[in-house]
Amino acid sequence: MHGKALPYLLLMPATLFLCVFFLYPFALVAFEAFTRDGGFTLDNFRTMAGSWKFPVTVRNTLLLSAIVVPIQLVMALLMATMVSRLETGRSTALYIFAIPLGISDLAAGLIWLAIFDQSGFLNTLLSNLGVIDRPVMFLGYQSKLTIFIAVALAEIWRATAIMMVILVAGMGLIPREYYEAAEVFGASPWKRFIKITLPLLRPSLQTAIILRVILAFEVFAVVAALGGTNLPVLMGETYNWQFTLQDRNVAAAMALFILAISIGFTLFFLRVLRVPKEARI
Amino acid sequence: MSTVAELSIAAPEARKAGNWLLVATVILLCVWVLLPIYLLIVNALSSPEQVTAFPKRFFPSFDFGSLSFFINFAGVAKALWNSVLVATLTMLLSIGFGAPAGYALSRFDFPGKETFRFLVLMTRAFPLPLLALPLAVMFIRTGLDDTAIGLALVHTTLALPFAVLITFSLFSGIPVELEEAAWTLGCTRLQAFRKVILPLALPGIAASAVFAFTISWNEVFAAAVLTIENRTLTAFLLQSLGESPLYLKFAGGAALVIPALIFIFAVRKYLFAMWGIANR
């Protein structure tokens, strides 16, 4: 009897915790989004979608994700394959590549602020090179494009590491024999990458992409540090509804909207990059 | 060794060029990662006047004006302390709840195991910081609002799934025979765990604890939503972005980054193993 109950006893704290602090608030946020003054309503969603800022925030967030994630995927694959072919200094390179993993998105925003600010390093460099004669305002309210570029660069800088680490771990699971066989048959490094690495890396690619896309929808502090309110994104708007506009129900509707697109994209990538059971290593 | 020699005889020129390209790209990527951090540090180690001046110097003047302004700024010391407190609580909670679950998953087969794994994996498909919004109300009712423990509970939902998966793989890597041998020698289950398994798993558990600490230390959204008086460093910096001078921002950024660098360095051995299991 004791032996049978033990695993459940051990799982109990974590399960209870996740029920109270994950499932319950999730139910609560759904409830708040669909009610106002005690009655069921879709008004919160109407208010949310009716705000002039809403289409802009959706567009900014999706555009940012659509630009940042593919670039990160390519960079992460590049880093992972480069490192695996390195003969010396492998662990040093891996450690350096992984550093941004530990850096807060707010800190990443501040780091890139040091570069893009009016008295920042980019302006200094450009003026030392003689390209400009006085500092350019990269992050002003009139320069939406440069704000967007700065945010995209900061995001690429900060969050490529998470994909890289997942892909490096995944590459470690691919048996060496496959590469040796391919080499015997004269496959070039590029062919080996296309025919062996990519297909066998699919489970890791799936994890990396899903994780990264969800995080991309959550972009918040980087934008707050670099663009303020000049580049509205979904999480920033949610924060605004909760605090500046003091409307909890619309904030909950926003939260539910972000959850919905996150789950939608998760299911999409689970399906598109599906790995049949018999094809797993 | 001999294969390397043969190959380099086959195409010495091309191989050499390829190697150079490889090394150059890796170095370029390292610079891409390190240079922005260096520039932030340059700012943090310059005087307030130098930070706002133009053009900028690319080397620090080792003037601690910015840093001392930051440390003495009203609320910063308290925010630092709150960050450490919340992160420590998160670390304790996520290991305390996560490690037993990881052990159970690695050692037992039981009905409901898959359901639990699904629950843990599901947390990854959600933007978890958003759950701070409904919790803000619940916390006001229960008196947990604006407390370190309240925020730590939310951060634990972020860190717990990792703690479960990491400890699961750690315990799976320790042969069950070691435990069985201890039982036959008269140890109880608890004794065997404490004397045989725990010492072997401890470094890995410590690494996942550091990881949990880092997750909490870096989190911005939930911290900004749930704290008002007892703001953490990230919440403090976020809420003062609008009005604080540049040198305060950069010194604050450095205060966030430096500990994070140390944490990542401390767990570097485990980083890839940790994310490897996140695959499954």
Same domain, B191 and B129: yes
Q: What are phi and psi of A36, to 5 degrees?
A: -150, 130
Asked whether the beta carbons of residue A6 and residue B108 sit closer than 8 angstroms, the reply is yes
Asked whether the beta carbons of residue B218 and residue A107 sit closer than 8 angstroms, the reply is yes
Asked whether the beta carbons of residue B279 and residue A262 sit closer than 8 angstroms, the reply is no
Q: What are phi and psi of B202, to 5 degrees?
A: -55, -45
Average pLDDT over residues A111-120: 88
Residue B137 C-alpha from the chain's centroid: 28
- Contact with chain A for residue B112, Cβ under 8 A: yes
> pLDDT band at residue B4, thresholds of 50, 70 and 90?
very low
Say which residue the tokens 């926003």 belong to. Answer: A254
Closest by CA position to B278, among listed A200, A212, A18, A221: A212
Q: For the structural domain made of A29-279, what CATH number should be given?
A: 1.10.3720.10
- Minimal-distance CA residue of chain A relative to B53: A119
Residues from chain A contacting residue B276 (CB–CB below 8 Å): 169-170, 172-173
**What does the mean pLDDT of chain B come to?**
85
Same domain, B105 and B8: no
Q: Which domain holds residue B115?
A: 67-277
Residue A101 contacts residue A114 (beta carbons within 8 Å)? no
As given in the structure block, the two tokens for residue B67 are 């840093």
Q: What does the pLDDT read at residue A217?
A: 92
Cα distances from B21 to residues A81, A159, A225, B17, B26, in angstroms, run 13, 25, 36, 6, 9
Lowest mean pLDDT among A34-38, A248-252, B153-157, B252-256: A34-38
Average pLDDT over residues A143-171: 90
Asked whether the beta carbons of residue A99 and residue B264 sit closer than 8 angstroms, the reply is yes
Closest by CA position to A53, among listed A214, A183, A244, A195: A244
Q: How many domains does chain B have?
A: 2
Closest by CA position to A211, among listed B121, B92, B258, B69: B121
Asked whether the beta carbons of residue A157 and residue B32 sit closer than 8 angstroms, the reply is yes
Q: Which of A38-52, A61-75, A139-153, B118-132 has the highest mean pLDDT?
A: A61-75
> pLDDT band at residue B141, thresholds of 50, 70 and 90?
confident
Same domain, B21 and B105: no
pLDDT tens profile A130-143: 888 888 888 877 78
Q: Where are the alpha helices (DSSP H) in A172-272?
A: 176-184, 189-192, 198-200, 202-217, 221-226, 234-243, 248-272
- Minimal-distance CA residue of chain A relative to B262: A102
* Sequence ranges of the domains in chain A: 29-279
pLDDT tens profile A229-251: 888 999 999 988 888 888 888 99
Taking residue B4's Cβ as centre, other Cβ atoms within 10 Å add up to 10
For residue A39, the surrounding DSSP H or E stretch is strand A39-40
Average pLDDT over residues B250-261: 91
**What does the mean pLDDT of chain A come to?**
88
Q: What does the pLDDT read at residue A102?
A: 87
Same domain, B209 and B271: yes
Same domain, B183 and B145: yes
| pLDDT surpasses 70 at A170 | yes
Say which residue the tokens 């051990």 belong to. Answer: A10
Same domain, B146 and B268: yes
Residue B77 contacts residue B71 (beta carbons within 8 Å)? yes
Q: Over pLDDT 70: what percentage of chain A?
A: 97
Residue B158 contacts residue B223 (beta carbons within 8 Å)? no
Same domain, B226 and B169: yes
As given in the structure block, the two tokens for residue A176 are 């060496």
Q: What does the pLDDT read at residue B274?
A: 66
Of B34, B135, B156, the CB nearest to A25: B135
| pLDDT surpasses 70 at A1 | no
Residue B238 to residue B221: CA distance in whole angstroms: 9
| pLDDT surpasses 50 at B3 | no
Domain boundary among the residues B11, B34, B64 is at B64
Residue B212 to residue A208: CA distance in whole angstroms: 20
Total length of chain B: 280
Same domain, B108 and B178: yes
Measure CA of the first residue to CA of the last residue in chain B; give whole Å: 36
- Minimal-distance CA residue of chain B relative to A119: B54
**ipTM of the shown complex:** 0.86
Of B29, B189, B221, the CB nearest to A235: B221
Average pLDDT over residues A39-51: 87
Closest by CA position to B254, among listed B74, B39, B34: B39
- Minimal-distance CA residue of chain B relative to A122: B56
Q: What are phi and psi of A57, to 5 degrees?
A: -65, -45
Residue B105 to residue B117: CA distance in whole angstroms: 9
Average pLDDT over residues A175-200: 88
Q: What is the largest CA-CA distance in chain B?
A: 76
Asked whether the beta carbons of residue B241 and residue A25 sit closer than 8 angstroms, the reply is no
> pLDDT band at residue B79, thresholds of 50, 70 and 90?
very high
Residues from chain B contacting residue A275 (CB–CB below 8 Å): none
Residue B38 to residue A123: CA distance in whole angstroms: 17
Asked whether the beta carbons of residue B51 and residue A118 sit closer than 8 angstroms, the reply is no
B21, B28, B31, B130: best mutation site toward chain A, by most A Cβ within 10 Å?
B130
Closest by CA position to A144, among listed A29, A230, A266, A34: A230
Q: What does the pLDDT read at residue A280?
A: 62
User: A185: which DSSP letter?
Assistant: T
The CATH number assigned to the domain holding B242 equals: 1.10.3720.10
| pLDDT surpasses 80 at B16 | no
Same domain, B13 and B111: no
Same domain, B37 and B128: no
Residues from chain A contacting residue B234 (CB–CB below 8 Å): 104, 106, 221
Q: Is B135 helix (H, G, I), strand (E, B) or coil?
A: helix
Residues from chain A contacting residue B224 (CB–CB below 8 Å): 239
- Contact with chain A for residue B145, Cβ under 8 A: no
Q: What does the pLDDT read at residue B8?
A: 42
Asked whether the beta carbons of residue A224 and residue B263 sit closer than 8 angstroms, the reply is no
Residues from chain A contacting residue B237 (CB–CB below 8 Å): 106, 110
Packing angle, helices B76-107 and B198-218, rounded to 10: 140
As given in the structure block, the two tokens for residue B63 are 């003037």
Query: What b/e sequence results for B52-77 when a residue is b if at least 16 CB atoms lie within 10 Å of its CB, and e otherwise?
Result: eeeebeeeeeeeebbbebbeebeebe
Q: What does the pLDDT read at residue B280?
A: 46
Q: What are phi and psi of B171, to 5 degrees?
A: -70, -35
Q: Is A40 helix (H, G, I), strand (E, B) or coil?
A: strand
Of A11, A135, A251, the CB nearest to B133: A251
